[in-house]
Chains A and B, each alone.
Chain A
C-alpha cells in the first residue's frame, strides 16, 4: 500500500515540462514536493496566483501571500497575480493543463464526489466544481477504500456530485485506474496486490489493460 507521500510521488509523474497545474487541498498539495527540479512547471492557486513557490522562511512570511488552502507561501520568479474572476476565467477557459484533486467517491463513468456529506458536514465546494470542467485533464488521488474497508470507486456515487463524467485518471494507494469511454481500466497495480485484490476492493467494473504494469512505492 502506498503512503500519502508515495501517492503524491506517483501523481507528480502526471506532470509534464511546461505544464500549468492546479493542485487541490490535502494530499494533492504534497505533489509539488515531487516535481523534478529541471522541469518548468507553474502551479496555479485559485485565489489569484500563477507561480506558487515553496513555504516561506520566518523572514519571508507574508500574511498577504497564501495558497487556496490558506497556507502561507512564496512566489516563484515569473509569478503573476490577479483577481478571482480572472483566476476562474483561466480555469474555465481551458488554459490549465492539469488539475490534481482529492476525492471521497468516483464512479465508473468518471463522476466525482468530493465536497459534501449530507447532514454531516457543510464546507462548500470551493473551486472544485469549476476546476473539474475547466482543466484539460483531471487526475484524482484517493485511498482505494474508506476507513471501514468499503470501496470508494463505485458503479454510481452515493454522495452529492462535484462533477459528472469529469475524471480522467484515479491514483490510489493500491492502483492506477483510467476512466475511458468504455468504463474503468486498471493500468497499474501497486506491489503487494494482485489484479484480483484490486477487483475485489473496487465496486465498479474494471477491465485490465493489456499493458498493465506494477507500481512500486519509491
Chain B
C-alpha cells in the first residue's frame, strides 16, 4: 500500500547525507508538510535539489535555519537572507544551475538520460570545466542528469495508486521531480479512490510515486501579494 498515515511514516528511510529533491517554485507547490516533517526528523548534511530555497521562516528556509542542508542545487535563491549569509560565509555549498538546465537535468535523470547538450551557460562560469561541443555552428555545454534518493512533491489531488494531478502554477518542478526520486513521496490536498481520476487528466502516472499522503490545512503562503489597484 502506498498510502501513508503519518508524515514521519512517509519520510521513513531518509537519513543524514542523502540527496533529496523538493518540488515547488518559490513557495508555490512546495510539499509543506513533508518539509516540516524533515525539520522535525532532524536529518542533516542533506543535499537538496530545488529551484528555490524558501524564505527565512517557511519552506526549505526552515531546514537552512536548522543547519540541516549541506549543499543546495538551485537556480534562484534571492528571497532568503539566511541562505545568502551561509553561502557567503562558506557554511553552505551551492551549485547554481540555470533554471531550464535544472529542469532538464531532473527530467533527463528521471527518463534514464545520463547527459545532454544545452546552449544555456555557454561562455559563462556555468560552462567552466564542462565539455562543450558545436552542433550546426552553435556551441553547447554538456550537462548531466540528476537523480535523488528521495523526491518530495506536492499535488492537488491524488489517488491511492499514486496518480497525481497538480493545480495551476503549483505544478512547476513537481512532475519531473516525481520521476527522478528512487523513492518519491507525494503529499496531496485530496486523496481519492482509484478510478475517480480521469486517466486523460493525470499529470504524474502512478508508477513514479511510491508513497502518498493526504494532509489538510495548507498554509500556501504568498510571497508577493499583488492585486488590482
Contact = CB atoms under 8 A, between A and B. Distances in A.
Nearest to A128: B98
B112 to A, nearest CB: 15
Interface of B: 25-29, 51, 74-79, 83-84, 87-88, 94, 96, 98-104, 106-107, 118-126, 156, 167-176, 203, 220-228
Contacts of A57: 227-228
Nearest to A68: B25
Which of A58, A72, A75 has the most C-beta atoms of chain B within 10 angstroms of its own C-beta?
Answer: A72
Interface in A46-97: 46-49, 54-58, 61-66, 68-73, 75, 81-85, 87-89, 91-92
Interface in A79-122: 81-85, 87-89, 91-92, 111, 119, 121-122
Interface residues of A, number: 54
Contacts of A162: 124
Nearest to A125: B98
A147 interface: no
A129 B122 CA distance: 9
A172 interface: no
Contacts of A63: 28, 220-222
Which of B78, B79, B169, B172 has the most C-beta atoms of chain A within 10 angstroms of its own C-beta?
Answer: B169
Contact of A85 (B78, B106, B167, B223): B106
A185 interface: no
A164 B122 contact: yes
Contacts of B121: 129
B84 A73 contact: no
B184 to A, nearest CB: 15
B174 A83 contact: yes
A162 B99 CA distance: 12
15 contacts: A46-B100, A48-B169, A54-B228, A63-B28, A73-B226, A81-B171, A83-B103, A83-B203, A88-B99, A92-B119, A123-B78, A125-B96, A129-B120, A130-B101, A134-B100
Contact of A64 (B99, B120, B124, B170): B170
A10 interface: no
A84 B120 contact: no
Given A45-B169, A92-B119, A134-B119, 9 more contacts: A46-B100, A49-B169, A66-B223, A82-B171, A84-B100, A84-B173, A88-B104, A161-B125, A163-B122
A47 B122 contact: no
Nearest to A47: B25
Contacts of B79: 70
Contacts of B74: 124
Which of B98, B171, B174, B227 has the most C-beta atoms of chain A within 10 angstroms of its own C-beta?
Answer: B98
A64 B220 contact: yes
A125 B76 contact: yes
B26 A70 contact: yes
A160 interface: yes
Given A88-B103, A124-B74, A127-B98, A72 B119 contact: no
Contacts of A54: 228
A133 B119 CA distance: 6
A65 B29 CA distance: 10
Contacts of B118: 92, 130
A126 interface: yes
